[in-house]
Structure 1
């Protein structure tokens, strides 16, 4: 009997797009994935990975969560069953990640393995938060340490460097501050705390060493959080902190240091699978076929429901596929053999311009439930027949409002629904700082509250081209 292989992959500090190319290639080959509990559940969707047929096990899928010994046993079990296994770990496997403990167990069983490094939180999260761990002439050294030892005891032997980055230290912050002061760190040493770095609901806290424990207690700081002490906690370049309320921050990071606090989440329509099946049945008999995808979420729901049935339609010579934005087009190219067309102008207007006055055949228009009927009405007169699918809807994010708003310089809103959600949960306090928005529909919604917002387009993106027409 043969044996499989195990890839111990560092996934980076959270967002799927921070995984390395080598790590992504390992995931694409996986039969089994055993993932850490801190990785967001949207991780695979963020990468547009097709996980059909892949067994995905998260440590927190069971209560209590899987122990390290149980994870080791699962790695061995699936590898001995001749599976390609990915052990997907947050950060880097070799930096407080127990990756080498797992590799040791695999070696004892004669199972081949490979470590694929990833971005560790200690270097990645400060960079994302606008902090530099080293700076010529001022910050020449940095040390990574844990605030607690394996047995849960306080780490009293902290290294000395120009900057100190502490992992797993939230519960011991007050004691660690006393330890650092006793070790000779000045009480006015700058400290930055990055809570849920790179993830939704990220917060940044700053203060002097002598006051940071009180600041953290008042803010109800929770794990996971990274603590940066020393020169690295100073901001070298002043950038605005933007409270980003949209679904996907990928195209907006040039605006400043983003804190992703989504106003909405996407819920799949209960009858999505039935809608897709009916549309596929109708499309098979069409003389010519145009399929229009208006968002990444619509595309994800469609392909999940269509399964292998899409392959037959995808090979048709008379098939035309249109994506409303570049992000959707990127996803479609993972599923489609044929060319994907993107309008020169994003959104509904661009789709209408792209099409002729009189098109032939059948059109499948794939949208969300809250999408305007204007695009469907415009297309109805141009095709012989049209099927509109409403596969998802945006709802107020259930976690919105559970924590007080973080410190920020401006809030960025991407839809009228988002405006309403923030106003409902936070009142006018949500708009007390600078207010930015993506387009006129959102600006109009803000005007109804007496708020004059500045329209800022960071670039062509799915958020700008597809969220706006859904109101």
Structure 2
């Protein structure tokens, strides 16, 4: 009997609390003294507008809906493509690649991907201009597509990445860099050339041979080791200028063509002999190493290690 009285009191108390809460909710829903219904509606409208504005700011714009990845594809061998580079290529809607990107790299593209060859090869008049490539990347990104811009080596080492980064940034496009293995490092490694050595080389310079007249050959001549890329056509000029700046003709030189690929070739010599050694050869693409460490190319001079 006593238990029933307690239960009945508890139920009654609960009902009273619920009724009080409902009455308070109704009071809050009514305009307070000194306000009007219009004021209440205006407040709710402002709150809704603010919420919508915040939502709009967090939603990506058309330009930001797409994204461009600047991918370094490595020096040539397909198994030197990074895992991240492969994954980006595999999920891209559009793949825009340089002339030296081979089928072993492009095989990772989706079957329905748009694959566009946009390479620049020296003075080839058929090569795409950098402006054309920039415009293509921006257009595809603003169309909401994922774009893989695939370059040989690493995009930040003489890869014109700065031009494309600037164009994408200016257009408000999202972009990301995917590093690659540069031929600057892979070429010498494939030929067993050490770029640094506690006795032979404590400093390394990297230079493009595209325009030797624009280089400070005096500074390069004083470096322990210099690695040139894009120097196949200008090697005689480079050799002459280095010697004119005081580099001895006995300085070892190694030229590595198609580094890391099955058709890789290596020529060795000195500043006095290397031009004759490669006479008549088409040296593009190649890496040229100048300095004492070049004597180790193709396993030469291993007894000096």
TM-score w.r.t. the length of structure 2 is: 0.71
Residue number in structure 1 paired with 2:11: none
Offset at residue 155 of structure 1 (A): 3.5
Residue number in structure 2 paired with 1:139: 201
Residues 33 and 86, structure 1, Cα contact 8 Å, conserved in 2: yes
Residue 41 of structure 1 pairs with residue 103 of structure 2: yes
Q: CA RMSD in A?
A: 2.1
Residue number in structure 2 paired with 1:59: 118
Residue number in structure 2 paired with 1:191: 253
The change in CA–CA distance for 1:82 and 1:221 in structure 2 (over 3 A counts) is same
Offset at residue 201 of structure 1 (A): 2.5
Residue 174 of structure 1 pairs with residue 233 of structure 2: no
- Secondary structure in 2 aligned to 1:186? coil
Residue number in structure 1 paired with 2:216: 157
Instruction: Point out where structure 2 has 5 or more consecutive residues left out of the alignment.
Output: 1-60, 301-305
Residues 16 and 44, structure 1, Cα contact 8 Å, conserved in 2: no
Greater gyration radius: 2
In the TM superposition, 1:243-258 aligns within 5 A as none
The change in CA–CA distance for 1:224 and 1:29 in structure 2 (over 3 A counts) is same
Offset at residue 33 of structure 1 (A): 0.5
- Secondary structure in 2 aligned to 1:115? strand
- Secondary structure in 1 aligned to 2:206? strand
In the TM superposition, 1:254-273 aligns within 5 A as none
Residue 223 of structure 1 pairs with residue 284 of structure 2: yes
- Secondary structure in 2 aligned to 1:229? strand
Post-superposition Cα deviations, 1:39-60, rounded to whole Å, max 9, x if no partner, equal 1233233xxx252011111125
TM-score w.r.t. the length of structure 1 is: 0.47
Residue 95 of structure 1 pairs with residue 157 of structure 2: yes
Offset at residue 89 of structure 1 (A): 0.5
Residues 156 and 179, structure 1, Cα contact 8 Å, conserved in 2: no
Question: Which residue, 273, 295, 300 being the options, matches 1:234?
Answer: 295
Point out which structure has higher relative CO (alpha carbons under 8 A, 6+ apart): 2
In the TM superposition, 1:45-444 aligns within 5 A as 45=107, 49=108, 51-60=110-119, 64-149=126-211, 154-158=213-217, 159=220, 160-218=222-280, 220-235=281-296, 238=299
Offset at residue 237 of structure 1 (A): 8.4
Residues 133 and 139, structure 1, Cα contact 8 Å, conserved in 2: yes
Offset at residue 22 of structure 1 (A): 1.9
> For 1:171 and 1:238, how far apart are their aligned partners in 2?
26
- Secondary structure in 2 aligned to 1:170? coil
Residues 30 and 86, structure 1, Cα contact 8 Å, conserved in 2: yes
Residue 4 of structure 1 pairs with residue 66 of structure 2: yes
Q: Which has the higher strand share?
A: 1
- Secondary structure in 1 aligned to 2:234? helix
Post-superposition Cα deviations, 1:59-93, rounded to whole Å, max 9, x if no partner, equal 25998132211111110111011000010010111
Q: Which has the higher helix share?
A: 2
> For 1:84 and 1:74, how far apart are their aligned partners in 2?
13
Query: What is the aligned residue count?
Result: 232
Offset at residue 180 of structure 1 (A): 0.6
